[in-house]
C-alpha cells in the first residue's frame, strides 16, 4: 500500500526531530482516480453527493492489526474491522481506491489502497461499499541492500 508524500514525511519526520501527531481518527475516503504520491483527491465525490461521506474509523488497536512482521524486511499493519461506508442515496460514481485522510472533509491524504477487484460502482441508491477486514495492508519495507 502506497503512502503519499505527506504520509511519508509524517512517518520519517520524527527521525530528524520533527514531531508528528497521528490522527486519532482516520476518515476513510474513496476516489475513482489514483491519488498518487501527491495525494490528489480529484476523484472523490463531493460530500453529500448521493449520500457520500467519509467513514470515520478510530486509529487504535481494535480497528487496526499491527504492526507485525510481514516476512523479510516488511512491517505490515492491516484493518482489523470492515471499513464500511454509509448506504448510498444516489449515484456517487465508482470507487477505485480507499484513502486514509486526517479530516472529515478537506485535510490530507496519508495513504491509499486499490479497491480489491477493481472499480466498485456506487451508481444508484442502496449500495454499501464495504472493504473487508484484513484487506488494506499498510507496509513499510527496506530497500535492497547494496552489493
In angstroms, the CA 57 to CA 61 distance is 11
Overall average pLDDT of the 49-72 stretch:
88
Nearest Cα to Cα of residue 120 among 87, 89, 96: 96
Return the H-helix or E-strand segment holding 5: helix 5-12
Does some domain include residue 84?
yes
**Total number of domains in the chain:** 1
How many whole angstroms separate alpha carbon 86 and alpha carbon 69? Answer: 33
The conformational region for residue 35 under phi > 0 = left, psi -120 to 50 = alpha, else beta, is alpha
Residue 32 binned pLDDT confidence (cut-offs 50, 70, 90): very high
pLDDT tens-digit map of 124-141: 999 999 999 999 988 887
Q: What is the pLDDT of residue 1?
A: 64
pLDDT at 72: 65
Owning domain of residue 26 = 5-140
Q: What is the rounded (10 degree) CA torsion for 134, 140, 143, 145?
A: -90
Residue 117 lies in a domain: yes
Residue 93 pLDDT more than 80?
A: yes
Residue 147 lies in a domain: no
Q: Are 136 and 67 in contact (CB under 8 A)?
A: no
Amino acid at each position: 500500500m502506497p503512502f503519499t508524500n505527506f504520509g511519508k514525511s509524517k512517518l520519517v519526520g520524527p527521525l530528524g526531530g520533527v514531531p508528528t501527531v497521528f490522527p486519532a481518527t482516520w476518515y476513510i475516503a474513496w476516489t475513482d482516480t489514483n491519488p498518487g504520491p501527491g495525494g490528489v483527491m480529484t476523484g472523490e465525490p463531493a460530500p453529500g453527493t448521493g449520500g457520500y461521506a467519509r467513514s470515520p474509523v478510530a486509529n487504535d488497536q481494535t480497528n487496526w492489526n499491527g504492526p507485525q512482521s510481514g516476512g523479510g524486511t516488511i512491517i505490515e499493519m492491516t484493518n482489523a474491522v470492515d471499513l464500511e461506508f454509509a448506504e448510498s442515496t444516489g449515484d456517487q460514481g465508482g470507487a477505485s481506491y480507499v484513502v486514509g485522510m486526517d479530516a472529515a472533509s478537506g485535510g490530507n491524504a496519508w495513504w491509499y489502497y486499490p479497491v480489491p477487484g477493481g472499480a466498485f460502482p456506487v451508481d444508484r441508491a442502496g449500495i454499501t461499499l464495504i472493504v473487508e477486514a484484513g484487506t488494506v495492508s499498510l507496509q513499510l519495507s527496506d530497500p535492497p541492500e547494496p552489493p
